[in-house]
Amino acid sequence: MTNRSVIFFDIDGTLLTHNKELPASTKEAIFTLKELGHEVAIATGRAPFMFEELRQELDIHTYVSYNGQYVVLNGNVLHTNPLHIESLEKLTAAALENDHPVVFMDHEDMRANVPEHDYIKQSIDTLKIDRFPTHDPHYYKGRDLYQTLLFCTEGEEKQYAEQYDAFDFVRWHPVSLDIVPKGGSKAKGIQKIVDALGFPAESQYAFGDGLNDLEMLSTVKNSVAMGNGEEQVKEVARFVTKSVEEDGILHGLKMVGLL
């Protein structure tokens, strides 16, 4: 097949409904894409261990995780961009004084710097995963971390964003944000994959719905925002499909001519 394309899918609110269910039409569409010879990949803010079952179910082995900080191509690590540990240590100490817990995350696990906190439970529970961060305040020492979760209410993160310029802060829940390396994004992770595979811009597609998809959807030429997506996301995308609950992936793939 000469006109192969590469398609990147966000997970939450894109592949999965808000109840974290995979629509049958989406699963069928993914396998049809693969049968047609296209490259199918995932681009998510999640850690690799948070969507292992989904990768197995969809037989997908290429992905951008941690919003671009840990990139895998055909099962092999292609690119990593760890957090600046010294800056993270200072931020963690300041956050602890403000009763703002953090969860340290590498490619294998996640550990909290406090034994328990309601904000951690509130946000992690919405992911509906079978893993919860255990307590290890020193987990950041001696290992590469690709993302850290900061738990605070909207607006409280401003003090950290102003003081710690080594990081970007991306909110994904009313009481939780992703801390990622400054300038790191899904778009940059995607670029590593398309460079390795040699896909031209016109053969690149991306689907997303959230604020951490903004750079991806404004960079990838054929970008599709979900109908349930944030208004800012719809504004930067080239196309807008139906919501994930309304077979939005299948509709969107037909809209752009891939199916």
Long-range contact set of residues 222-228: C-beta below 8 Å, sequence gap at least 24: 222/256, 224/252, 224/255, 224/256, 226/13, 226/14, 226/252, 228/13, 228/18
Our measurement of the distance from residue 68's CA atom to the centroid of its chain's CA atoms, rounded to an integer in Å, reads 8
DSSP strand pairing (110-112 vs 102-105): antiparallel
168 is catalytic: no
What is residue 233's DSSP assignment? H
Q: Tell me how far apart the alpha carbons of residues 236 and 216 are, in angstroms, rounded to a whole number.
A: 10
In order of 62, 73, 81, 102, the CA distances from 76 in angstroms are 8, 5, 15, 29
Cα separation, 120 vs 200, in Å, equals 41
3-state class percentages of the chain: helix first, strand second, coil last, to nearest 5: 35, 25, 40
> Of the residues 10, 106, 168, 209, which is catalytic?
10
Q: Which residue from 154, 161, 192, 162 is spatially nearest to 179, judged by alpha carbons?
A: 161
Q: What token pair was written down for 126?
A: 């919405």
Query: Mind telling me the catalytic residues?
Result: 10
